[in-house]
Chain A
Amino acid sequence: MDKLIIAGRSFDSRLLAGTGKFASNQAMVAALESSGCEIVTVALRRVDIDNPEDSLLSHIDRERYLLLPNTSGARNAEEAVRLARLARAAGCEPWIKLEVTPDPYYLLPDPIETLKAAEILVKDGFVVLPYMPADPVLAKHLQEAGVATVMPLGSPIGSNRGVRTRDHISIIIEQATVPVVVDAGLGAPSHAAEAMEMGADAVLVNTALADTADPAAMGRAFKKGVEAGREAYLAGLGPQRNQAQASSPLTGFLRDN
């Protein structure tokens, strides 16, 4: 498959994976491996000082995966910038999945605070991948701010409802000057394939991989969905019609009228 290029860096896989909510670290590792992903998201949280646990990082092969810390939990630009700087101080490359979600019920991204934070972080030298509402005008503003991708949501985080923002994502793809990564809400390989068929450059999936009895199998299934969608997009889908257009010849029928 053709390569995905983000901020000058080349990737073979067009599937980005999250590491949250897996039943065990082994299940997470198996899903990451089978999915073929090369970029994995992680979150930053306070250590439980009364009961410290081994860092997640001891389970993630940093030679194989690019770590993409997120700013989850941030309710405004200031909190997001603080988290991004902490992630960089922890020894990560300065890549950040910017996410600002003030509403705990739908976790919808705040467009104004996301743009503010993006402007600050780009100036600070970060490679910024913003999670954003599927708003083509906001995508333009973020691109002008210098983000490395735009990542419109398909549907709310963890909802598994698929690409419910299809029409607006199509406009974002049409106008994009950076890769478009459909992030959030993709619950099935067919959802991922749909986004890729539309011309998305990549997808980001977490809950669908973690919230299943067999994460390794689901990782494989998503890999195939993403690859199928990309190949179909590159091949070019046939036009849609309201009326039937016969696939078999309309001559030589075994009848006389």
Chain B
Amino acid sequence: MNLTVNGQRKNFSAPLNVEQLLTFLKLKHDQVVVELNREILIADKYVDIQLNDDDTLEVIQFVGGG
């Protein structure tokens, strides 16, 4: 299964939900926000959302800014 995560195309083995993806990427769930195909996801639902081939995700976090 191919996913585009933050602009990078990567191959993952299915099945995979959003929670598993974040764990695989070593990201802390409470420090990021996730958009799947331009829809903002609610953190409580990560485990329920199965990813599909060609999905596009944005994983975003806060950084320093003015």
Q: Which residues of A contact B (CB under 8 A)?
A: 18-22, 28, 41-49, 52, 54-58, 67, 69-70, 72, 85-87, 89-91, 157-158, 184, 204, 206-207
Contact = CB atoms under 8 A, between A and B. Distances in A.
Interface in B9-37: 25-28, 30-33, 35
Contact of B60 (A44, A56, A58, A157): A44
Contact of B62 (A18, A42, A158, A207): A42
Contact of A85 (B5, B40, B66): B40
B57 to A, nearest CB: 10
Given A22-B64, A43-B62, 6 more contacts: A41-B65, A44-B63, A47-B6, A49-B5, A86-B35, A86-B60
Max chain A CB contacts within 10 Å: which of B27, B30, B65? Answer: B65
Interface of B: 5-8, 25-28, 30-33, 35, 40-42, 58-66
27 contacts: A18-B64, A20-B63, A22-B64, A28-B64, A41-B66, A42-B62, A43-B64, A44-B61, A44-B63, A45-B61, A46-B7, A46-B58, A46-B59, A47-B60, A48-B6, A49-B27, A49-B59, A52-B26, A52-B27, A58-B31, A69-B62, A72-B66, A86-B60, A89-B40, A158-B66, A184-B66, A206-B65
A159 B40 CA distance: 35
A55 B64 contact: no
A22 B25 CA distance: 27
A20 B66 contact: yes
A231 to B, nearest CB: 26
A47 B62 CA distance: 9
A19 B66 CA distance: 6
A47 B64 contact: no
Leading 3 A-B pairs by shortest Cβ distance: A43-B65, A18-B66, A206-B66
A184 B40 CA distance: 30
Given A57-B31, A89-B40, A20 B25 contact: no
Secondary structure class of chain A's binding surface, majority of residues: mixed
Nearest to A16: B66
B27 A89 contact: no
B28 to A, nearest CB: 7
A108 B51 CA distance: 39
Contacts of B35: 86
A72 B59 contact: no
Contacts of A55: 28, 31-32, 61-62
Nearest to B38: A82
A57 B31 CA distance: 8
Contact of A42 (B6, B58, B59, B65): B65
